Amino acid sequence: MNKKNVLTTLCIVASSFVFAQEQDKKNEVTILDEVTITDSRFELKRENSGKTVVKISAKELQQNADKTLAQIINTKSGITIIGSNSQAGQPLSTSVRGGQNRQVLVLIDGVAVNDASQIENNFDLQLLSLNQIEEIEILKGASSALYGNRASTAVINITLKKAKNGTVNAQFSSFLGTNKSANDSNFAIEDFTNSIGVNGRVNHFNYLVNFSNRSTDGLSAVKATEGATANGSDKFSKINTTVKLGYDFSDAFTINTLFNHDKYNTEYDGGFFFVDENNVSKNEQYRVSVSPKYKYNKGSVTVNAALTTIDREFESAFSATFDAKTLSVDAFNKYKFSDKLFTVFGVNMVKNEMNNKDAFTSIIDDTANDQIVDPYVSATYITDFGFNANIGLRLNNHSEYGSNVVYNINPSYVFKLKDNASLKLLASYSTAYVTPSLYQLFVPGFGNSNLEAQEDTTIEAGLDFYLNENLQLSAVYFNRNQDNYIDYVTTDFITYAGEYQNTNEDFKVQGVEVELNYKPLESLNFNANYTFTERQDNIIFRVPKQKVNANLGYQFCKGTQANVSYQFNSDRVSPFYNDTFTANRILDSYSLVNLSLSHKVLNNKMTLFASVNNLLDEDYQELYRFSTLGRNFKFGFNLSL
């Protein structure tokens, strides 16, 4: 599809929807009443938020129950999760606004999570199961002032499911489907996902236990060359266990605890020469957290403490083992001076350590460890005449590179228009930091203990237009600049020996994000987004310059819902390695069309699902020479008792 056609089509669609629908004057509630939390840690109406926040509701997660977490997040503006439509065990790379894994912070129930053994210190989204999750908020832009290290391009705040009222509630779900690449005529059932959960409340005590598993077969990690025999399939299996226990000592004091065990095994091929190999990767995580909360007259004190251990193993010709431990404590006081002024005072402490052993290197936690201690403050001010502002400041103290100050300034203004319509203008200037990972600092031969923290600055400006609850249109421009960019620099092109360094190379990214939500009828809903991302005078590997997502949902009758979704990705550049040098390859643009149908039975206690993904059987690549999913079918059910 021609890039100009994509832009033209999007503009025509948006314009026609804006002017084709007259306002429903019976409805006085606007989408501005939607509540956001991540941008301020207070429950504020979206009208009073000056940040770009994407909310994935429980309803949307239920409608996409056949998808993975990465596939759902990949449909949001400004976000590309590379590998989300590849073989199930393909490592995921989350790029928000042209950034890297290391620039995205993941929170689970308010607790920051990471893998200190990863090169980029990121959290692996494949460890999570969709059945564990209640809702998601994605805060885009630099947010280090409130959330600290790695909150440079986005914060993905994942809220796990909570106990419902009643002594015992149960939920069961099961999905089965095909798992093949494009142009493959084998429609065998090779993708299985199951989950079971119980929860409830007894007096002051609440509990939730959830277990899920997934296994796939039939798809090779590396794609066979044209005319060659298909490579053998690479299996993937995953289990997830969640236990949540809570007790309300009084209306003022509550405590919640969480235990997670997440594990997956995946077979993978040789990516250097793109050959079929019998390699195996294993990843296992244990996480325990405790969150006491005390409420008082005008505020509350919360402590989120968590201990995470991760073990990773690679069985191949270059076998390696990794284990890491992270202890994090975030203690903060939220205080409401008045209905107009909200403040957060806190301190965040993180300790990371790792071990690694392979044929060439060895790292021990006595050497590979670091500590971070961050005091921070944030304030949100709301007025009666439309002006709102959020400011934040954090002092980061890192054991390896010293102190660093980051801050955020975020004003917005809401114009109340005729007949309950409104226009919000927003802007922000934010700084962020990304500390080097333990691997980048300490791995023998490649590490560099003299690395400085990567510093990012983001400028945003945009608008939100609300005609009524049936129509919302938003557009945001962002400009992001990275200093002290950390990269692996080759010093010997014969052996590829080198080290991690802070490069002097400019890394400036700018872009535009446009979102449209339109509901012309009670039974019909349309939403779409468009993203333009470019790096000044250079390339962002594997990230499309232009990306379009659209979804049309129609409710045929009470309990029956159909959805048609579309995604377009423009050409991308992918690096690859051959026997003698590193080269770049252009990956062609592609479009995906998905269909899904759900129907409720048994007094709405059971929902039946059926879906067809990649309906047109598009043959495309997310990563050069690696397989992607073709036309696949999936069927399943969700039962609540």
Query: Which pTM does this prediction carry?
Result: 0.92
pLDDT at 6: 40
The lowest-confidence range among 209-223, 493-507, 574-588 is 574-588
Tens-digit pLDDT profile for residues 569-599: 999 999 876 655 567 889 999 999 999 999 9
Which letter does DSSP use for residue 58 in this model?
A: H
Say which residue, 44 or 637, is predicted with more confidence: 637
**Secondary structure class of 144 (helix, strand, coil):** helix
pLDDT at 506: 79
Tokens of 195: 């989950």
Tokens of 581: 């040098």
Tens-digit pLDDT profile for residues 287-308: 999 999 999 999 999 999 999 9
The H-assigned helical ranges of 316-462 are: 438-442
Q: Measured between alpha carbons, how far is 408 from 142 in angstroms, rounded to an integer? A: 8
pLDDT at 360: 78
CB 152 within 8 A of CB 161: no
Burial annotation 506-534 (CB, 10 A radius, 16+ → b, else e): ebebbbbbbbbbbbeeeeebbbbbbbbbb
Residues 101, 107, 113, 114: what is their CA dihedral angle, to the nearest 10 degrees? 0
- Residue ranges per domain, the chain? 3-640
pLDDT at 493: 66
**Spatial CA neighbour of 21 closest among 540, 471, 337:** 471
pLDDT at 22: 35
Q: Measured between alpha carbons, how far is 26 from 440 in angstroms, rounded to an integer? A: 59
Q: What are phi and psi of 439, to 5 degrees?
A: -60, -45
Tens-digit pLDDT profile for residues 413-458: 999 998 889 999 999 999 998 999 999 999 888 889 888 888 999 9
pLDDT at 7: 41
Which residues fall within 8 angstroms of residue 440, CB to CB, at 6 or more apart? 119, 446, 447, 448, 451, 486, 500
pLDDT at 582: 66
Say which residue the tokens 């993941």 belong to.
Answer: 106
C-alpha distances in Å from residue 540, one per residue of 10, 84, 97, 510? 24, 18, 10, 11
Q: Measured between alpha carbons, how far is 270 from 278 in angstroms, rounded to an integer? A: 9
The lowest-confidence range among 135-139, 322-326, 396-400 is 396-400
Residue 228 has pLDDT above 70, yes or no: no
Residue 23 has pLDDT above 90, yes or no: no
Residue 227 has pLDDT above 70, yes or no: no
Residue 40 has pLDDT above 80, yes or no: yes
| Percentage of residues in the chain having pLDDT higher than 90 | 72
CB 138 within 8 A of CB 155: yes
pLDDT at 3: 43
Out of 2.170.150.70, 2.40.170.20, 1.10.579.10, 1.10.287.110, which CATH number does the structure's domain 3-640 have? 2.40.170.20
Which residues fall within 8 angstroms of residue 366, CB to CB, at 6 or more apart? none
Tens-digit pLDDT profile for residues 349-367: 999 999 999 877 788 889 9
C-alpha distances in Å from residue 45, one per residue of 42, 107, 300, 304, 630? 9, 21, 19, 24, 41
Q: Measured between alpha carbons, how far is 150 from 374 in angstroms, rounded to an integer? A: 13
- Report the helix count and the strand count for the chain, using DSSP H and E: 5, 36
**Spatial CA neighbour of 266 closest among 286, 283, 248, 251:** 283
Mean pLDDT value across residues 625-631: 94
Say which residue, 170 or 536, is predicted with more confidence: 170
pLDDT at 601: 93
Where does the pLDDT of residue 277 fall: very low under 50, low under 70, confident under 90, or very high at 90 and above? Answer: confident
Residue 31 has pLDDT above 50, yes or no: no
pLDDT at 456: 92
Mean pLDDT value across residues 595-604: 93
Which letter does DSSP use for residue 232 in this model?
A: P
pLDDT at 419: 84
CB 9 within 8 A of CB 15: no
What is the rounded average pLDDT for all residues in the chain? 89
